[in-house]
């Protein structure tokens, strides 16, 4: 299984109302220093219905890199609709981070 396949398989498990960080997914895939590579996987996500790339955020809860709709504002609206808790413009990771 390729790194990309591992990332998509793990990310597909992130439930509604929760988020994971790029670094968290990299670590779960066995490549703890590959957060940027996870970002590239999300950028090239072939199926948003299977892999909820909008549920992947930066390590500080910041919303980054979303290519669909109106970008970051669309990502935030989707997360809010799913019940993700925010603190200002960042996801409150202590309340909404997936423990996977």
Record the tokens describing residue 14, joined without a space.
Answer: 């992130």
26-35 per-position pLDDT tens digit:
999 999 999 9
CATH code at position 21: 1.10.10.10
34-65 pLDDT, tens digit per residue, is 999 999 999 999 899 999 999 999 999 999 98
What pLDDT was estimated at residue 53? 95
Could you give the CA distance from residue 21 to residue 60 in angstroms, rounded to a whole number? 8
From the list 53, 84, 91, 93, the catalytic residue is 53
- If one counts the domains in the chain, the total is 1
Q: 6-10, 32-36, 65-69, 92-96: lowest mean pLDDT where?
A: 65-69
Res. 69 pLDDT band, cuts 50 70 90: confident
Active site residue 53: yes
What is the H or E stretch that residue 26 is in? helix 22-28
Owning domain of residue 75: 3-96
Phi and psi, residue 57, nearest 5°: -130, 170
Q: Residue 97: beta bridge partners? A: 19
Contact between 11 and 51 (Cβ < 8 Å) = yes
Length of the chain measured in residues: 100
């Amino acid at each position: 299984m390729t790194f990309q396949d591992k990332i998509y398989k793990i990310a597909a498990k992130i439930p509604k109302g929760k988020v994971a960080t790029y670094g968290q997914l990299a670590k779960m895939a066995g490549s703890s220093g590959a957060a940027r590579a996870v970002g590239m996987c999300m950028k090239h996500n072939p199926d948003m219905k299977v892999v909820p790339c909008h549920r992947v955020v930066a390590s500080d809860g910041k919303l980054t890199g979303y290519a669909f709709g109106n970008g970051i504002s669309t990502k935030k609206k989707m997360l809010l609709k799913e019940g993700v808790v925010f603190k200002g413009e960042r996801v409150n990771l202590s309340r909404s981070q997936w423990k996977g």
